[in-house]
Structure 1
Amino acid sequence: MMCDELESMSCAMDARSSMSHSGDQDASVANIFIMFFAAAIGGYVLSSFVLLRSPGILHRKKEHRFAARHISHRGGAGECTENTIDAYRRAVSAGTELLELDVHLTKDNQVVVIHDDNLLRLTGMNCLISELRYEELPVLKRELDVSFARGVVMEDSENRTIPRLKDVFEEFPDVPINVDIKVDNDVLIATTADLIAQFKREKLTVWGNTSSKVTEKCYSVNPSIGLLFSMRRVVQIVILFYCGLLPYFPIRETHLEIPMPHCFFHFMPNPSKKQRFIVALMDKLLMRRSLFEHLQKRGIPVYLWVLNDPIEWDRAFNELRVDGVMTDFPSKLATYLKQHNV
């Protein structure tokens, strides 16, 4: 009887010892896993930090096509009738380094420089550009509201003819031009690409659209022309930036051109709390100097639009250190740049 009890106690002790040994093994495996996971996370964070600051380790820096601190929005819509030859002449004489313009296609396949697809706001005629031949297009109104300067009306009695893109290329052969393809039209994209090639402007032109579909088509037609980020691509790089993954991804776009979110208040006379919150959130997420510096080190210049106030220019150049700003007032921006030695 005594022997049976001793044997039972021995078996129980062996079982407890086996369980304890098994528990120690499980704990050891868990500790190894935790250490491995911590090392992997630490290595990822460290490498992301290093590559964010030194992207040249992984990526060849893009060739600088041109420098542009001073960009004229629609040729300077606050000082001359928007998107006209006179506006571009005035902007260039003021010292602009990049002309921004918009293009559409007429019924007879002429690429014309104009912002809206419907002529009502700009000419008073309620008609689509695509429905008229070039010689049928009316002249622009004498008075036009400046979109990004609330309450400002541009009054101009000079030449208000809607120009063709080829007219602009002929007039300004050496001036860099930003072409905004306003609609998803294969003929418009192909014809614009042909004009850029005809005038040998691949290195002096950047084009695209907020639509990723349009931007993809632009790239496929001629990948040697400078390319803007679409809205979807901007969202992607912001997400990648905050995840620490941006340094690992190749970027084919050549220029980042985004709004400073506060410019949207020009369209909100009395913004609600919700609207103010959304704009503030966008500003917090988008206006990141470290993001801009990373892109600049990869050879991608950063431009902000549409800034018409010295306070905005101060923030853009001094706080965010962007490469250039787009404005409706070329002469005022030129004076600012000269006075502040930017």
Structure 2
Amino acid sequence: MARVYNIGSQPVIIAHRGGAAEFTENSIEAFQHTVAQGFRFIESDVHATRDGIPVIHHDPVIRGEGGAELLAINTLTWKELERFQDSDGTLPRLEDVLDAFPDVVFNLDAKSDEAVEPLARAIRRTSCEKRVCLASFKQKRIDQMRALVPGVAFSLGTSEVARLVLRSKFPRRKTDLSPRFPHPDRGFQALQIPVDMRIAVPGKLGEYIYTTVKVATPELVRFAHAQGLAVHVWTINSEREAQGLIDIGVDGIITDIPIKMRTHFLDSGVEIDY
């Protein structure tokens, strides 16, 4: 399988929701402007309508007419949802986006169970298996998508991220890494993490205690690389913080300010991909 994301080469800037702080997030306008600036890595989110049309949107609801009522996307048909599109191209259909930007690598987060099959179907219809990485907080959704579109790149769900974090912090403990562990030969290419997260860590008496731990560490980066996984950190909007992460070896920065972040790295003499 060809890699979508590389390890140990030039770090990549990934435009979070198309550059949410620089344009209207998850809109055709945002994608057009970001691509026009030379970017080819975009992160976005997918929900599905009641009639199974996958659409680009982060939240499960939209504002109804007048802005007061909240409407769930999965209760609306595409024809009903289409009425709420803005002039900047919010709420686009996933297939339209994939067709409109054939040179872009899309990191797509399945935000609901209902989105899984429509998302997979859109990937097959647009033949873009080699330029997407599929993600979800829920590992169950990722496993379902792996069955529907084998050969596509995936990132890890939250439960597998926590397992990897524990193994990197407690290497002598028998944290399960096989046979279920998501190795690259099973399609998993990226570990996409926040700077810190709440996980259950082993206590002194063998019990597990929930606590917030820093996960974007040199130890985790080294451990993930040894498993063949690229490491991306989200959502980073501080140039100083991004620089520190690059310094410890992360492979990608997921950011709302891709243009500003690129300017910072280029001015600093850091070779990057975007």
TM range (shorter): 0.7 to 0.9
2:195 is equivalent to residue 256 of structure 1: no
Q: Is there any run of 5+ residues in structure 2 with no aligned partner, and where?
A: 199-209
* Corresponding residue number in structure 1 for 2:104: 175
Scaled by the length of structure 1, the TM-score of the pair is 0.65
* Corresponding residue number in structure 2 for 1:282: 213
- Partner of 1:99, secondary structure, is strand
Tell me which protein shows more helix as a share of its residues: 1
Residue deviations 1:118-150, cap 9 Å, x none?
113998341111222223224367xxxxxxxxx
| CA gap 1:64/1:122 in 2 versus in 1, 3 angstroms | farther
Supply the distance in 2 between the matched residues of 1:288 and 1:329 (Cα, whole angstroms).
Answer: 23
Supply the distance in 1 between the matched residues of 2:262 and 2:192 (Cα, whole angstroms).
Answer: 20
Aligned 8 A contact 2:124 2:149 in 1? no
2:71 is equivalent to residue 127 of structure 1: yes
Q: CA deviation at 1:170?
A: 0.8
Aligned 8 A contact 2:4 2:130 in 1? yes
* Corresponding residue number in structure 1 for 2:221: 292
Q: CA deviation at 1:316?
A: 1.2
Considering Cα pairs closer than 8 Å and 6+ residues apart, tell me whether 1 or 2 has the greater RCO.
Answer: 2
* Corresponding residue number in structure 1 for 2:207: none
* Corresponding residue number in structure 2 for 1:238: 165
| CA gap 1:105/1:247 in 2 versus in 1, 3 angstroms | closer
* Corresponding residue number in structure 2 for 1:340: 268
**Residue identity (%):** 28
Question: How big is the alpha-carbon RMSD for the aligned residues of Structure 1 and Structure 2?
Answer: 2.7
| CA gap 1:91/1:214 in 2 versus in 1, 3 angstroms | same
Whichever residue aligns with residue 198 of structure 1, its letter is R
- Partner of 2:97, secondary structure, is helix
Aligned 8 A contact 2:40 2:103 in 1? no
Aligned 8 A contact 1:306 1:327 in 2? yes
Q: What does 1:117-156 align with in structure 2 at a 5 Å threshold?
A: 117-120=60-63, 124=67, 125-137=69-81, 138-139=83-84
Aligned 8 A contact 2:194 2:216 in 1? no
Aligned 8 A contact 1:64 1:299 in 2? no
Shift >6 Å, 4+ stretches: none
Whichever residue aligns with residue 12 of structure 2, its letter is R
Q: CA deviation at 1:305?
A: 0.4
- Partner of 1:104, secondary structure, is strand
| CA gap 1:329/1:122 in 2 versus in 1, 3 angstroms | farther
* Corresponding residue number in structure 2 for 1:151: none
Supply the distance in 2 between the matched residues of 1:123 and 1:170 (Cα, whole angstroms).
Answer: 32
Q: CA deviation at 1:303?
A: 0.4
2:150 is equivalent to residue 219 of structure 1: no
Supply the distance in 2 between the matched residues of 1:122 and 1:302 (Cα, whole angstroms).
Answer: 41
Q: CA deviation at 1:248?
A: 6.6
Q: What does 1:1-342 align with in structure 2 at a 5 Å threshold?
A: 63-67=2-6, 69-120=12-63, 124=67, 125-137=69-81, 138-139=83-84, 159-185=88-114, 188-244=115-171, 249=178, 250=181, 251=183, 252=186, 253-261=188-196, 281-283=212-214, 286-318=215-247, 320-342=248-270
Whichever residue aligns with residue 81 of structure 1, its letter is T
Tell me which protein shows more strand as a share of its residues: 2
Structure showing greater radius of gyration is 1
Supply the distance in 2 between the matched residues of 1:178 and 1:163 (Cα, whole angstroms).
Answer: 16
| CA gap 1:282/1:98 in 2 versus in 1, 3 angstroms | same
| CA gap 1:122/1:181 in 2 versus in 1, 3 angstroms | farther
Residue deviations 1:153-193, cap 9 Å, x none?
xxxxx5243100011101111210011000112xx322211
Scaled by the length of structure 2, the TM-score of the pair is 0.80
- Partner of 1:331, secondary structure, is helix
Whichever residue aligns with residue 96 of structure 1, its letter is F
Q: CA deviation at 1:110?
A: 1.0
Q: CA deviation at 1:239?
A: 1.7
